[in-house]
Amino acid sequence: MSERNIRIEPIDRRAVEDQDVEIVERKGIGHPDSICDGIAEAVAGALAREYLDRVGEVLHFNTDETQLVAGEAAPAFGGGEVVDPIYLLIVGRATKHYEGQTIPAETIALKAARAYLESEIPHLTYGEDIVVDVKLGEGSGDLQEVFGEDEVSVPMANDTSFGVGHAPLSETEQIVLEAEARLNGEFADENPYLGTDVKLMGKREGDEIDVTVAAAMIDEHIADIDAYAEAVESVREFVEDVASEHTDRSVDVHVNTADDYEQGSIYLTVTGTSAEQGDDGSVGRGNRANGLITPNRSMSMEATSGKNPVNHIGKIYNLLSTEIAEQVVDEVDGIRDLRVRLLSQIGRPIDEPHVADIHIVTDDGVELGDVEDDVEAIVDDELANVTDITRRVIDGELSTF
Amino acid sequence: MSERNIRIEPIDRRAVEDQDVEIVERKGIGHPDSICDGIAEAVAGALAREYLDRVGEVLHFNTDETQLVAGEAAPAFGGGEVVDPIYLLIVGRATKHYEGQTIPAETIALKAARAYLESEIPHLTYGEDIVVDVKLGEGSGDLQEVFGEDEVSVPMANDTSFGVGHAPLSETEQIVLEAEARLNGEFADENPYLGTDVKLMGKREGDEIDVTVAAAMIDEHIADIDAYAEAVESVREFVEDVASEHTDRSVDVHVNTADDYEQGSIYLTVTGTSAEQGDDGSVGRGNRANGLITPNRSMSMEATSGKNPVNHIGKIYNLLSTEIAEQVVDEVDGIRDLRVRLLSQIGRPIDEPHVADIHIVTDDGVELGDVEDDVEAIVDDELANVTDITRRVIDGELSTF
Amino acid sequence: MSERNIRIEPIDRRAVEDQDVEIVERKGIGHPDSICDGIAEAVAGALAREYLDRVGEVLHFNTDETQLVAGEAAPAFGGGEVVDPIYLLIVGRATKHYEGQTIPAETIALKAARAYLESEIPHLTYGEDIVVDVKLGEGSGDLQEVFGEDEVSVPMANDTSFGVGHAPLSETEQIVLEAEARLNGEFADENPYLGTDVKLMGKREGDEIDVTVAAAMIDEHIADIDAYAEAVESVREFVEDVASEHTDRSVDVHVNTADDYEQGSIYLTVTGTSAEQGDDGSVGRGNRANGLITPNRSMSMEATSGKNPVNHIGKIYNLLSTEIAEQVVDEVDGIRDLRVRLLSQIGRPIDEPHVADIHIVTDDGVELGDVEDDVEAIVDDELANVTDITRRVIDGELSTF
Amino acid sequence: MSERNIRIEPIDRRAVEDQDVEIVERKGIGHPDSICDGIAEAVAGALAREYLDRVGEVLHFNTDETQLVAGEAAPAFGGGEVVDPIYLLIVGRATKHYEGQTIPAETIALKAARAYLESEIPHLTYGEDIVVDVKLGEGSGDLQEVFGEDEVSVPMANDTSFGVGHAPLSETEQIVLEAEARLNGEFADENPYLGTDVKLMGKREGDEIDVTVAAAMIDEHIADIDAYAEAVESVREFVEDVASEHTDRSVDVHVNTADDYEQGSIYLTVTGTSAEQGDDGSVGRGNRANGLITPNRSMSMEATSGKNPVNHIGKIYNLLSTEIAEQVVDEVDGIRDLRVRLLSQIGRPIDEPHVADIHIVTDDGVELGDVEDDVEAIVDDELANVTDITRRVIDGELSTF
């Protein structure tokens, strides 16, 4: 075994699945906070790749402060219009000059934001429905760690920071996470009236699960109030179907419950996101690194999106602890709930955390001792390969929100 | 007893004070995220008071999205200068027209931001070291609840939201919270070299407490490197003294550990905040409603600062649950750790939460049954007076970060 | 004859063609000031047309304040890149609410700006090389004149304003105007290395004409310094050829005279405009309504681009006086130089100017009396049809810079 | 005599004083365009002085592009309020790094803007009624001329540029210029209701002079409509008195002619400037370098305010030609009208213009030959001391608008 300070203990609470009340939330990809997370992370990935291409290593940057100021829209059955554009400001630091080279950090950021929006939030016409501006200060050149094409060093922790991951997902978590993914995937493909701003709140009390969905409908594809009502019902049935694949508990799905048809107050949008009308957003205010907001579990406050994947310990440890948790549950049987916490130690390499705390609830009939060694081996191995996280973030393979 | 759904149960974990590892963080008042929280909340309070003054009730607004873009500074012993100003954008919604009156929401916001900065972050010269801009969209007039001078109604919950509070504070929490308050209070009064941007991280392992302080020093009051070293040592001793008032455990205090005197790399600033050089900030990314970041305890992701105190359930429930927790611990003996969670129910008045979960660890020799009735009475009473929270927020009596 | 106050007199100076020294300047379409003029006018036209489409008449607006903040670029033979984007802010007023309708003035402005840039300054990638933002205040609804699809009224002058026009163009003026047009037309079509930012200064002393051209070259199409030198020479020869079509005087053409090949200081750009690197721009700072800057002739200080063509007297009178001058010279023989000045009278319809001053230099052998009646008839007729100017501006048929 | 190419000739038109129709305009110090001119020039002066202080010579900068976006206000008798603040963006270039020193150009700009506004437009509360932002790009270090404390070299012209000056002022010009100065001086001192945004238009036809004044009144000092009417009348009488000191012609003064008391449409403001409500502004759109807009005289299109006084030929020549004209008329008798034009020659020192054209209308009975030598001597001397202009601009002694 390694020298790493890995502690494996029973968790000091019941498995989330066994708690009486559970709350789970996910802000879909078109939610104003998620738009900010998505752009911040897209910009970060683009910068990292460009640095590698141009100078062979990732230079200092941090772009985790995108701010979205909502626009104003006038939706209408059959197609309304955006009245005042959304304003989005990409904020952060980036190295612009390095060994005689000039790196066009702001242009890279704008290109990345545009590509991201055009791919993920396609109903927002870039430069018309949304104005994207950028203010990237000069990063300090002496902060970078070596993370190059040819050589990779494990960076030193320069901060006391903390990451946390969980596995397996509870049924409610699975439902919320997958319903959003599939609504924004197969469902939207077939039903173009569904906007990207889908917010799901799952609440379980005992064996009763309520899923509340707020789904922005796109006016161009909704002819009238009847079509709207049908659209709402289709979403409801779809989420119900998704839910039934993940649980035998009773599930109630509610869609756009704040609607008031009498008053004509419905969730109709021009662009499929509430950012068009009154809902501002910013990075780190929505989903945690595993895609969910889970008050029943420990969460890190740190924004993961937009941070530099080479040397930001909070980002690396949040992603790594989630990876570890999933890996352990994949490979080791008998685990009902698992929490991984990684705490950095200033001045030591990040593959040697101050402590790696693994808290476990085992299945009935399984003792901690039965799984301990396997778990520790996985944790040790994942820590040894911490720079894989960085590599995968740079390649855009890991989601951060 | 009331009809409210109050559940009192044992907590499903050890008291935080009894856990092996504890981490506590506080970003001081001059930290870029705290500056944003402070301004957002100052603006919200000013708007609420102006609405009451002008139209007799609080109209719809939400100003929880302040964004700070760091400046650039050139600190120097004896006094350097800000090179590029900090840019701060106040973002949100406010009702600007109501029954024929025009309410100057943006001017109110700027005045409040200025007053706040001049009072709390006095080394930042408003309009020179920091440019404050504002973009407040028009709020929708029909969203407001009745919260007037003469009449107050308990608002209906329009969202499923969640608040959480804890008491009593652990020793480590007390140390971190009070050390920051007193550093920015009596210590700074006597030692003008200390900036407002003081960040404290407390880490307890068993009975060993480490407190790491990052304290921005103000160059005007630091003549040379020796004076700097003395200043650092004075901060260290002061925090050590504060700590000793709250614990008998061994405490190690570390100040500005990233300094490298050889390289001249020290934490010297012109204005006392890292916002002057490279550290961006935004609302809701820092301290929770009780002033701390506590990974060992449940936390709400919701930004509290800047939200409308009349109808934003997340804000009200976070503040109220903290109030309840403190009230219970003040009045009821025998409680070692207490967590209050309030969960709203859409469409019901907010004084009737879906559930008020009270989780308790009792002192040795105390049974839950011994305290249950007293606790419930307090919770019931506090819920009945939920609108007091709103009133006190409007009057600026409750801190939100 | 009409009642209009038309005065026809000899001009109190020599014809410009006969003066000893003449200076003429034109900022080409890609010059930062011209980009602002072009966008301001494109936005104005789009708003006017949308108002007509939506409410049947042109509502109040004024968009004559576009500001361009230069970017930063790193040109290189074979293709460099924009480092920091250009920032362009469209500023003005527009009616956004009218009789229950919402008019998306800001979105209209952005669409118009984008279409203009993509058509006229195609090397600037919208949203990447240039960030276009917009701040349109609410125009006051009660300022509008009736200018509708069905009914047109001649507006009243609400200001003392002044317009001036000249004809015919001198040889130097013709050379400068046409050389720019053809450089940005046929020449650029065949020689993609030529940018849109072409500035020409013509100076005539007696019978010697010097034409100085500053021509931004596009790096993508310039392989090396030799190619650059060839490109410069091609521009020189082309302008020489254009000039020879307009004069028998001796003409010297100088292109990019500030170049210093030794020092590698040449006029190479990524996007074909100096806006990419250090040259800011704004409306009304460049060419007058006839496309030229002519210190030898009276000029109006008023910005023409972006003004409302229905009720802005300065705009209408500048365009109309130019039209009148050209019309007279087309139709009446014997005129060597002509200046038309229109002065408004507050409170009277604009087709009845306070005075229409026509100053004429006749050809040798022609008396003023020989042409007076013909000139007056044309002036009278043009004034009678003043609303044609408005119509043609709205239809985008008249250039304003 | 010197080698300078000075030509003295009769002017090819009548003296302006003898022309039939004359128009003269001045935008007062609080007009939105003038606010921009004033700030641009204040920033330029501050930068030049700081450069001299810090590095001993003036480095490259250019700040002639300030843009003002109007606010929104709700004036009311006795005191209204600004609803949305004015936004003012200082745009330009400045050298920020020079020989290892960092020059805080943006902070210098903000301080200068603040000091200027607080001194000249005191009713605008900085940072509340007006948000001042700044975007100064990095100037190119290699463009500077030597203009130091100890050594001054005459810069080379790097552009073909043109300056023009006139003297003496006509009666109408004197009236307009002095009336604005004294309204904003002694009159406003005694009558605090008068705002700084006073615009005067003088129109002379033969011997009848009309002066139209648009005077922003400050609501705080105007109790009701009667007080307003009295204020208007006081302004009218004051301007009449000023006028009578400059002419024996008949003078009619009209103040706030667009008022409609019935409709309550009057020129009442909170801050004394129309920038608070709908009137945008920018540099170089208002008064020429001599403080007036004079369609009867040649004018330069170039913005003078904000330009670098060391090497911007247009600025220097516009100020110098005005100086020369005034100097000649002061010292030489018998001159009725005088125009000075200076044309630069690329690559030659600016004290050797390509041509200095002096056009003169002599008084009756005076021949050009009688004054020629005296005039030439003055012109020659002024050109020899061209750097005095730069020095005086830096010291803030010359007005540019």
Q: What residue segments make up the domains of chain B, in order of their start? A: 6-14+157-170+288-394, 32-143, 171-282
Architecture of domain C6-18+157-168+286-394: 2-Layer Sandwich (3.30)
Q: Which candidate from D12, D84, D91 shows the least CB-CB separation from C67?
A: D91
Question: Tokens 């802010």 label which residue?
Answer: C89
* Cis amide prior to B168 (ω within 30 degrees): yes
Sign of CA dihedral A241, A243, A247, A252: negative
**Model confidence over B70-92: pLDDT tens digits?**
999 999 999 999 999 999 999 99
Q: Enumerate residues 6+ apart whose C-beta is below 8 A from A13.
A: A19, B12, B13
Options 3.40.50.800, 3.30.300.340, 2.60.40.10, 3.90.1150.10; CATH for D171-280 is: 3.30.300.340
Domain C32-140 in CATH 3.40.1550.10? The answer is no
Architecture of domain B171-282: 2-Layer Sandwich (3.30)
**Model confidence over B264-316: pLDDT tens digits?**
899 999 999 999 998 999 999 999 999 999 988 989 988 999 999 998 999 99
Angle ∠(C244,C250,C252) on CA atoms, nearest 5: 85
Q: Which of D5, D91, D260 to mutate to test the interface with C (most CBs of C within 10 A)?
A: D91
Q: Which fold has domain C171-277?
A: GMP Synthetase; Chain A, domain 3 (3.30.300)
Alpha helix positions (H), B67-224: 105-120, 171-182, 188-190
CB D265 within 8 A of CB D228: no
Rounded-to-10 torsion of CA A87, A88, A94, A97: -40
Q: Which candidate from B127, B132, B133 shows the least CB-CB separation from D114?
A: B127
CB B266 within 8 A of CB B188: no
Query: If DSSP codes are grouped into helix, strand and coil, which group holds residue B133?
Result: strand
Whether C72 and D137 lie within 8 Å, measured CB to CB: yes
Options 3.40.1110.10, 3.30.1240.10, 3.50.50.60, 3.30.300.280; CATH for B6-14+157-170+288-394 is: 3.30.300.280
Q: Which candidate from A203, A258, A285 shows the least CB-CB separation from B303?
A: A285
The tokens for D52 are 């001299």
**Model confidence over B270-283: pLDDT tens digits?**
999 999 998 999 99
Which parts of chain D register pLDDT below 50? Answer: 1, 141, 143-144
What is the pLDDT, as a whole number, of residue A144? 47
Please tell me the distance from the alpha carbon of residue C341 to that of residue D22, in angstroms, as a whole number.
12
Within the 96-115 window of chain A, which residues sit less than 8 Å (CB to CB) from chain C? 96, 102-107, 110-111, 114
Nearest to C198 by CA among C255, C124, C259: C255
Within the 191-250 window of chain D, which residues sit less than 8 Å (CB to CB) from chain C? 201, 203, 212
* Cis amide prior to C75 (ω within 30 degrees): no
Chain D: give the shortest CA distance to residue B151, in Å. 28
Please tell me the distance from the alpha carbon of residue C37 to that of residue C122, in angstroms, as a whole number.
16
Judged by a CB distance cut-off of 8 A, whether residue A391 touches chain C is no
Q: Which candidate from C103, C104, C129 shows the least CB-CB separation from A82?
A: C104
**Model confidence over D51-62: pLDDT tens digits?**
999 999 999 999
Q: Give the residue on C whose Cα is nearest the Cα of A125.
A: C111
pLDDT(C169) > 70: yes
Please tell me the distance from the alpha carbon of residue D89 to that of residue B110, in angstroms, as a whole number.
17
Query: Residue B234, exposed/middle/buried by CB under 10 A (0-12, 13-18, 19+)?
Result: middle
Cβ contacts from B onto D, under 8 A = 71
Domain D6-13+158-169+286-394 in CATH 3.30.300.280? The answer is yes
What is the pLDDT, as a whole number, of residue C146? 54
Query: Residue A226, exposed/middle/buried by CB under 10 A (0-12, 13-18, 19+)?
Result: exposed
Please tell me the distance from the alpha carbon of residue B166 to that of residue B341, in angstroms, as a whole number.
9
Q: Which of C83, C133, C135 to mutate to test the interface with A (most CBs of A within 10 A)?
A: C83
CB B24 within 8 A of CB B172: yes
CB D320 within 8 A of CB D300: no
Q: Which candidate from D74, D85, D132 shows the least CB-CB separation from B102?
A: D74
Judged by a CB distance cut-off of 8 A, whether residue D299 touches chain C is yes
The tokens for D19 are 């022309």
Query: At B144, is the pLDDT very low, low, confident or very high (cuts 50, 70, 90)?
Result: very low
Please tell me the distance from the alpha carbon of residue B185 to that of residue B4, in angstroms, as a whole number.
41
Judged by a CB distance cut-off of 8 A, whether residue D278 touches chain C is yes
Whether C114 and A102 lie within 8 Å, measured CB to CB: no
The tokens for D388 are 């005095």
Question: Tokens 């995220």 label which residue?
Answer: B33
Judged by a CB distance cut-off of 8 A, whether residue B158 touches chain A is yes
The tokens for B261 are 């005197």
Chain B: give the shortest CA distance to residue A363, in Å. 18
pLDDT(C144) > 60: no
Judged by a CB distance cut-off of 8 A, whether residue B5 touches chain A is no
Rg (CA), chain C: 22
Query: Under CATH, which number does the domain A6-14+157-169+297-394 receive?
Result: 3.30.300.280
**C45 φ/ψ angles, rounded to the nearest 5 degrees:** -60, -45
Q: Which candidate from B74, B102, B107 shows the least CB-CB separation from D128?
A: B107
CB C184 within 8 A of CB C92: no
What is the pLDDT, as a whole number, of residue C157? 85
Please tell me the distance from the alpha carbon of residue C318 to that of residue D257, in angstroms, as a whole number.
24
**Model confidence over C177-204: pLDDT tens digits?**
999 999 999 999 999 999 999 999 999 9
**Model confidence over C69-103: pLDDT tens digits?**
999 999 999 999 999 999 999 999 999 999 889 99
Q: Give the residue on D whose Cα is nearest the Cα of B135.
A: D84
CATH fold match for the domains C32-140 and C171-277? yes
Please tell me the distance from the alpha carbon of residue C124 to that of residue C274, in angstroms, as a whole number.
11
Whether D107 and B127 lie within 8 Å, measured CB to CB: no
DSSP C87-128: EEEEEEEE--EETTEE--HHHHHHHHHHHHHHHHSTTS-BTT
**Model confidence over B343-376: pLDDT tens digits?**
888 788 999 998 899 999 999 999 999 999 999 9
Nearest to D120 by CA among D25, D39, D44: D39
Chain B: give the shortest CA distance to residue A93, in Å. 7
**A13 φ/ψ angles, rounded to the nearest 5 degrees:** -155, 175
The tokens for A187 are 């469902």
CB B165 within 8 A of CB B318: yes
The neighbours of chain D, by the rule of 3 or more Cβ pairs under 8 Å, are B, C
Q: Give the residue on C whose Cα is nearest the Cα of D158.
A: C258
Architecture of domain B32-143: 2-Layer Sandwich (3.30)
Q: Give the residue on C whose Cα is nearest the Cα of A84.
A: C106
Which parts of chain A register pLDDT below 70? Answer: 1-2, 139-150
What is the pLDDT, as a whole number, of residue C31? 98
Mean pLDDT of chain B: 93
CB D253 within 8 A of CB D236: yes
Whether D278 and C137 lie within 8 Å, measured CB to CB: yes
What b/e readout covers C280-309, taking b as 16+ CB neighbours within 10 angstroms? bbbbbbbbbbbbbbbbbbbbbbbbbbbbbb
What is the helix, strand, coil percentage profile of chain A, to 5?
Answer: 35, 30, 40
| E strand or H helix that includes residue D227 | helix D225-244
What is the pLDDT, as a whole number, of residue D144? 47
Please tell me the distance from the alpha carbon of residue A161 to that of residue A308, in angstroms, as a whole number.
14
Strand pairing class (B208-218; B268-269): parallel
Please tell me the distance from the alpha carbon of residue B316 to that of residue C240, in angstroms, as a whole number.
77
* Cis amide prior to C349 (ω within 30 degrees): no
Query: If DSSP codes are grouped into helix, strand and coil, which group holds residue D287?
Result: coil
Cα C365–chain centre separation: 35
Tell me the pTM. Answer: 0.94
* Side chain identity at residue C125, one-letter code: T
Question: Tokens 């210029």 label which residue?
Answer: D177
Most distant pair of Cα atoms in chain A: their distance: 68
